[in-house]
Amino acid sequence: MSSGRKTGLLYAAAAALAGLDFALGVYAVYRAPFPLRVNLGSPTAYFNIYLHIPMAWATYLLYTGAFVSALVYLIRGGEKWDRLVQAFVTLGTVYAVFTLVSGMAWASESWGAAWNWDPRETAVLLLLLAYLVYFALRGSIPDPDRAATLSAAYAVAAYSMVPVSFVAPRLVQSLHPTASSFGHFMGRPDVMAVFGPKVLLSSIVALLLAYLYAERLRGAAAPGWVRYVAAGFIVAGVAVGLVLASPYLSGGVERVAAAKLDSQGRIVSLTLVGPEGNRTVRLPSPVPSPVQPAVYEGKPTIVSHLVRVAGGRVEVVRHWSVALNAAAYPVIVGLVLLLLSRRPRQATGEH
């Protein structure tokens, strides 16, 4: 198989899998399960489980790729491994930024503040800052051999932040859940049916994009259709974000402070807290709760949710962080594909 054909197939695979990943993300924020009762804020913020966590895993995977490639380069040499280091660090940094931003958006609702100096938050920030230095280091050394060698050594060293961020919740009290408390929820079949494939797809897409970036550094051009697919991802991401955020744009979003249900679990009245204060709304006729099951431990599960009440209907509104993160992922993939579709500079020869 020719190199160009292989590259074309890889781009097709990346686009197809990224599309599937995006579709699964959209399905997740509409139909996937979430914790019925949460400590703080809207339970729908926990749809971020299917958006933030797969990207965090992909970030770790990309930086692990950088670490392994850097080690191989330092032991065996070869420009191919140097290109892989650059590609993995670049994509890893993009994904790390998304991980931090998506996590902060989620934390603003579910933890009470966007930034809390939580041990894992802090460690991921250190990880990102450490790898940002890679670019500065590489760019500051004029000799390409020396630049490749020193930056590979640095990429190996910076990887130390990955195990730090991983073990942080075990070392000190953290707002992040430990594996056992998280596993309690993740282990449910209906959750794993969505979460498992989401993590797998996001990881494969991340690795493919990194490999394709390394190929671009080699001088391999992307097929012409890639830029149209990239534009499609960006438009689709923005569209999904606007649809999910539309209740906020049109107004009327309030939080349920209390609810009265009838004996069949239907909503009779809601006490709502909104920008204009508290109000109690008695519905013209009882309606089935949009959150199922409607009752947990004797209490209505619609409490704490963000809703819009209009025309006797109660609509659950996903927290804005879900809209942001659901939109950001395809936009990021689209921007990466757009970058890859640009004509590459001529690569230097092997040395």
Strand partners, 306: 255
Residue 191 contacts other proteins per CB under 8 A = yes
Tokens 């992040």, located at residue: 176
Pick out residues in 97-116 that bind other proteins (CB under 8 A).
Answer: 110-113, 116
Binding letters toward other proteins, positions 14-53, x by CB under 8 A: ----------------xxxxxxxxxxxx-xx-x-------
Contact 188, 34 (CB under 8 A): no
The least distance separating other proteins from the CB of residue 280, rounded to whole angstroms, comes to 11
Among 150, 221, 238, 335, binds other proteins (CB under 8 A): 150
Q: CA angle at residue 62 from 114 to 321, to 5 degrees?
A: 25
**283: three-class secondary structure by DSSP:** strand
Instruction: For residue 214, give the nearest of 5, 2, 10, 9 by alpha carbon.
Output: 10
Of the pair 8, 169, the CB lying nearest other proteins is at: 169
The least distance separating other proteins from the CB of residue 308, rounded to whole angstroms, comes to 13
Among 13, 157, 238, 281, binds other proteins (CB under 8 A): 157
Residue 135 contacts other proteins per CB under 8 A = no
Residue 182 contacts other proteins per CB under 8 A = yes
Burial 134-149 (b: 16+ CB within 10 A, else e): beebbeeeeeeeebbb
Among 12, 77, 101, 266, binds other proteins (CB under 8 A): 77
Binding letters toward other proteins, positions 249-268, x by CB under 8 A: ------xxxx----------
Pick out residues in 307-336 that bind other proteins (CB under 8 A).
Answer: 316
Pairs from 19-24 (Cβ < 8 Å, separation ≥ 24): 19/233, 20/201, 21/198, 21/201, 21/202, 21/205, 21/329, 22/233, 22/236, 22/237, 22/329, 22/330, 22/333, 24/50, 24/194, 24/197, 24/198, 24/201
Distance CA 53, CA 67 (A): 21
Residue 343 contacts other proteins per CB under 8 A = no
Residue 132 contacts other proteins per CB under 8 A = no
- DSSP structure string for 164-182: HHHHHHHHS--SSPPHHHH
Of the pair 121, 215, the CB lying nearest other proteins is at: 121
Pick out residues in 206-225 that bind other proteins (CB under 8 A).
Answer: none
The least distance separating other proteins from the CB of residue 248, rounded to whole angstroms, comes to 16
Distance CA 302, CA 322 (A): 18
Residues 6+ apart with CB under 8 A from 81: 69, 70, 72, 73, 152
Among 304, 321, 325, 341, binds other proteins (CB under 8 A): 304
Distance CA 3, CA 214 (A): 14
The least distance separating other proteins from the CB of residue 1, rounded to whole angstroms, comes to 32
Instruction: For residue 329, give the nearest of 217, 234, 191 by alpha carbon.
Output: 234
The least distance separating other proteins from the CB of residue 330, rounded to whole angstroms, comes to 22
Pick out residues in 271-290 that bind other proteins (CB under 8 A).
Answer: 271, 273, 288-290
Residue 8 contacts other proteins per CB under 8 A = no
Residue 195 contacts other proteins per CB under 8 A = no
The least distance separating other proteins from the CB of residue 251, rounded to whole angstroms, comes to 17
Q: How many residues bind other proteins (CB under 8 A)?
A: 83
Provide the token pair at 40: 């703080």
**At 132, which helix (H) or strand (E)?**
helix 119-140
Q: Interface with other proteins by CB under 8 A: which range of 13-21, 90-98, 182-190, 225-233?
A: 182-190
Of the pair 16, 273, the CB lying nearest other proteins is at: 273
